[in-house]
Amino acid sequence: MNTDARAQTVNLGAGPSMLPTDVLMEAAQGIIDYGGAGIGVTELSHRSSTFKNLIMQAENDLRTLLDIPSEYAILFLQGGGTEQFSATLLNMLAAHASKHNGQGGAPPVDYVVSGSWSGKAYKEARRLYEPVRQVVDLRKNIGDATQPIPAPSTWNLSSVDENPAMLYYCDNETIDGFEFTQDFIQQLPEEYRQRVPIVADCSSNILSRPVDIRSHAVVFFGAQKNVGPSGVTIVIVRRDLVVDPDAVQQSYYPRIPTTMVYKNAMDNGSLYNTPPIFPIYVSGLGFRKLVEEGGVARAQERAHARAKLVYDKLEQHPDVFKPTVAHADFRSQMNLTFRILDANTREPSESEEARFVKLCEENKVVQVKGHRSVGGIRISLYNASTLEMAQKVVSLMDQFIKE
Ligand SMILES: Cc1ncc(COP(=O)(O)O)c(C=O)c1O
Q: How far is the CA of 202 from the centre of ligand 1 (A)?
A: 9
Residue 326 and residue 376: Cα distance in Å, rounded?
A: 15
Write phi, then psi, for 360 (nearest 5 degrees). Answer: -60, -50
Q: How far is the CA of 64 from the centre of ligand 1 (A)?
A: 24
Taking CA atoms, 322 is separated from 188, 310, 312, 317, 345, in Å, by 31, 12, 12, 8, 13
Residues 375 and 280 in one domain: no
Does residue 1 have a pLDDT over 90? no
Average pLDDT over residues 113-129: 98
Average pLDDT over residues 13-39: 96
> Which is the closest atom of ligand 1 to the Cα of 171?
1
H or E, element range at 127 = helix 116-128
Residue 258 and residue 56: Cα distance in Å, rounded?
A: 23
What is the number of helices (H) and of strands (E) in the chain? 12, 14
Domain-embedded: residue 321: yes
Choosing from 174, 218, 224, 260 the residue with most ligand 1 atoms within 8 A of its CB, the one to mutate for a pocket test is 174
Q: How far is the CA of 85 from the centre of ligand 1 (A)?
A: 10
Q: What is the largest CA-CA distance in the chain?
A: 68
Domain-embedded: residue 369: yes
Residues 137 and 213 in one domain: yes
Does residue 267 have a pLDDT over 90? yes
> Which is the closest atom of ligand 1 to the Cα of 15?
14
358 is catalytic: no
Residues 183 and 49 in one domain: yes
Q: 49-86, pLDDT tens digit by residue? A: 999 999 999 999 999 999 999 999 999 999 999 999 99
Confidence of residue 89 (pLDDT cuts 50, 70, 90): very high
Residues 349 and 279 in one domain: no
Residues 58 and 197 in one domain: yes
Write phi, then psi, for 203 (nearest 5 degrees). Answer: -55, -40
Ligand 1 binding pocket, CB closer than 6 Å: 15, 80-82, 117, 170, 174, 201, 203-204, 222
Does residue 200 have a pLDDT over 90? yes
Nearest-CA residue for ligand 1 atom 2 is 203
Nearest-CA residue for ligand 1 atom 13 is 81
Q: How far is the CA of 117 from the centre of ligand 1 (A)?
A: 7
Residue 34 and residue 50: Cα distance in Å, rounded?
A: 9
Residues 179 and 267 in one domain: yes
Domain-embedded: residue 283: yes
Full domain range(s) for residue 334: 296-402
Q: How far is the CA of 133 from the centre of ligand 1 (A)?
A: 22
The rounded percent of the chain whose pLDDT value lies above 70 is: 100
Domain-embedded: residue 6: no
52 is catalytic: no
Residue 329 and residue 346: Cα distance in Å, rounded?
A: 24
| Catalytic, out of 110, 225, 263, 313 | 225
Nearest-CA residue for ligand 1 atom 10 is 80
Does residue 382 have a pLDDT over 90? yes
Does residue 94 have a pLDDT over 90? yes
Which among 290, 317, 351 is the end of a domain? 290
Does residue 102 have a pLDDT over 90? no
Which among 290, 305, 331 is the end of a domain? 290
Residues 306 and 263 in one domain: no
Nearest-CA residue for ligand 1 atom 6 is 81
> CA 114, 117, 118, 120 torsion: positive or negative?
positive
**For position 176, what pLDDT does the model report?**
97
Residues 199 and 128 in one domain: yes
Residues 193 and 312 in one domain: no
Give the residue from 117, 186, 120, 177 showing the smallest Cα distance to 151: 186
Choosing from 117, 202, 211 the residue with most ligand 1 atoms within 8 A of its CB, the one to mutate for a pocket test is 117
375: alpha, beta or left, given left = phi > 0 and alpha = psi -120 to 50? left
Choosing from 77, 82, 378 the residue with most ligand 1 atoms within 8 A of its CB, the one to mutate for a pocket test is 82
Residues 98 and 230 in one domain: yes
**For position 144, what pLDDT does the model report?**
95
Domain-embedded: residue 336: yes
Nearest-CA residue for ligand 1 atom 16 is 174
Q: How far is the CA of 1 from the centre of ligand 1 (A)?
A: 32
Q: Are strands 198-201 and 218-222 parallel, antiparallel or unpaired?
A: parallel
Nearest-CA residue for ligand 1 atom 4 is 81
Q: How far is the CA of 373 from the centre of ligand 1 (A)?
A: 14
Residues 166 and 205 in one domain: yes
Residues 136 and 190 in one domain: yes
Q: 234-261, pLDDT tens digit by residue? A: 999 999 999 999 998 899 999 999 999 9
CATH of residue 90's domain is: 3.40.640.10
- The count of domains in the chain is 2
Counting every residue, how long is the chain? 403
**Average pLDDT, whole number, for the chain?**
97
Q: Which residues contact 36 (CB under 8 A, 6 or more apart)?
A: none
Does residue 7 have a pLDDT over 90? yes
313 is catalytic: no
Does residue 320 have a pLDDT over 90? yes
Write phi, then psi, for 375 (nearest 5 degrees). Answer: 70, -160
**For position 249, what pLDDT does the model report?**
86
**For position 123, what pLDDT does the model report?**
98
> Which is the closest atom of ligand 1 to the Cα of 14?
14
Go through 215-231 and write b for each residue having 16 or more CB atoms within 10 A of its CB, e for each that does not. Answer: ebbbbbbbbbbbbbbbb
CATH of residue 384's domain is: 3.90.1150.10
Q: Which residues contact 344 (CB under 8 A, 6 or more apart)?
A: none
Q: How far is the CA of 256 from the centre of ligand 1 (A)?
A: 21
**For position 68, what pLDDT does the model report?**
98
Q: 128-146, pLDDT tens digit by residue? A: 999 999 999 999 999 999 9
Kindly write down the DSSP assignment for every residue of 176-227, as one continuous string: TTEEPPTTGGGGS-HHHHHHS-EEEE-TTTTTSS---GGG-SEEEEESTTTT
Nearest-CA residue for ligand 1 atom 1 is 203
Which among 256, 271, 290 is the end of a domain? 290
| Catalytic, out of 61, 110, 201, 322 | 201
